[in-house]
């Protein structure tokens, strides 16, 4: 995968999750923790790919 493609995906994931996390933090803190854990999991999967390509 192209480096720019990975960077664009990372930005999209962050932007997509930002509003959702705000909504969840108002109504359900536990759901926020799950969302953040899922987001961290995605980032951890992406990081090795990025470092391998560089």
pLDDT cut 90: percent of the chain above it: 0
Least confident of 22-26, 29-33, 40-44, 45-49: 22-26
Residue 14 confidence (pLDDT): 55
pLDDT > 60? residue 22: no
Residue 18 confidence (pLDDT): 57
Q: Which residues contact 28 (CB under 8 A, 6 or more apart)?
A: none
- pTM beyond 0.95: no
Residue 5 confidence (pLDDT): 67
Query: Residue 45 and residue 41: Cα distance in Å, rounded?
Result: 6
């Amino acid at each position: 995968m192209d480096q720019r493609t990975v960077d664009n995906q990372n930005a999209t994931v962050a932007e997509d999750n930002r509003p959702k996390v705000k909504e969840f933090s108002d109504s359900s803190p536990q759901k926020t923790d799950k969302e953040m854990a899922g987001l961290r999991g995605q980032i951890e999967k992406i990081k090795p790919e990025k470092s391998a390509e560089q």
